[in-house]
Amino acid sequence: MNETAHQTDHVIPRRVSNAHPPAFNEGWVYCDVLPNDQLPTTVLDYYTHHYRHSDRATWQTRIETGQILLNDQPTTPKTLVNAGQRLSYHRPPWQEPAVPLEIGTLHEDDVLLVVNKPSGLPVLPGGNFLQHTLLWQLRQRYPTAAPIQRLGRGTSGIMLIAKTKAARAHLSRQMRQRSLGKTYRALIGPAPDLPDQCTITHAIGKIPYPQLGHIYAANSDGLDAHSACTVVQRSSNSTLLDVNILTGRPHQIRIHLAVMGYPLVGDPLYISGGHPHPEGKAIPSDCGYWLHAHQLSFVHPAGKRMTLTCEPPSPLVPNA
């Protein structure tokens, strides 16, 4: 048995190492323009209701210390806000979690870039991540870079990036028309009863989730979702799959495989049935699962069809 075989048969949940020391960023301003259907509410109630990652006392302190402005002016927790007004949260510099920042280039030309995103690196700013994101890092060199598809923080692999507005429009249209070919490599536990090929079409939508207000999960009232699975290799301890997705619902593969009773190995969030653990506190960006964007096919803005492959990490490579 070679080393790759050993890793595949005896895989344990992966922990993302801190490849770079923590660093303070330069802070950020988060702006909200209240929608036309916004009912009158207080500044404190607005933030407490819409941004549950912080508790009520924390939001009150931020308002009282001048971190939150109403129409660019200081405000109070009890001030009423209405439709059309502008709230801004001036977040001071903070220490971002360290993440792997080694972003490999798979293809580059004048209008697009294809990269290998490491597991553990968020794609877009959010939560505690701003500069430690794929978008921020790429825009230091390519100011107009725009990701065409998104990967979860814990998902590694191939990502398509437009470098011009025209390329972004061309590639985004293919996304909307579902003409991009997307194949993922996934690792689940032993699955002797899973057919060699199967299609999962369970709808995905939002459900209540205390940690975030809501979360995406299996939901018969949600939007259609389509995943086609092919078994690559079976062992007594694990199963390797290739998963082609026609739709791109949030966390689709994680949810769909869990619906079938086979959550991804190491997934800290989704359990059998396609829902988060009822007593768990994990959030979608928590890492540990094994999922890799393996292959992507698309039509280049110049008209040529391209198919690019990104080699998966060794536990997702079948035994020889």
Residues 164-176: tens digit of each pLDDT: 999 999 999 999 9
Please report whether residue 261 resides in a domain. yes
Range of the domain at 211: 104-316
252 backbone φψ class: left, alpha, beta (φ>0; ψ -120 to 50): alpha
Please report whether residue 175 resides in a domain. yes
Could you tell me the pTM of the whole model? 0.84
What is the total count of domains within the chain? 2
**Average per-residue pLDDT for the chain:** 91
Shared-domain flag, residues 34 and 75: yes
DSSP strand pairing (156-162 vs 291-299): parallel
Task: Return the amino acid letter for 309.
Answer: T
**Domain final residue pick, 66, 92, 118:** 92
Q: Which of 178, 306, 312 is nearest to 245 (CA)?
A: 178
Question: What pLDDT is recorded for position 22?
Answer: 53
Please report whether residue 16 resides in a domain. no
pLDDT in tens, 52-80: 889 999 999 999 999 999 999 999 999 99
Shared-domain flag, residues 194 and 117: yes
Question: What pLDDT is recorded for position 153?
Answer: 96
Shared-domain flag, residues 289 and 158: yes
Q: What is the CA radius of gyration of the chain?
A: 21
Residues of the chain with pLDDT under 70: 1-23, 320
Residue 217: give its domain's CATH number.
3.30.2350.10
Shared-domain flag, residues 56 and 33: yes
Please report whether residue 243 resides in a domain. yes
Please report whether residue 4 resides in a domain. no
Please report whether residue 281 resides in a domain. yes
Cα first-last separation, the chain = 9
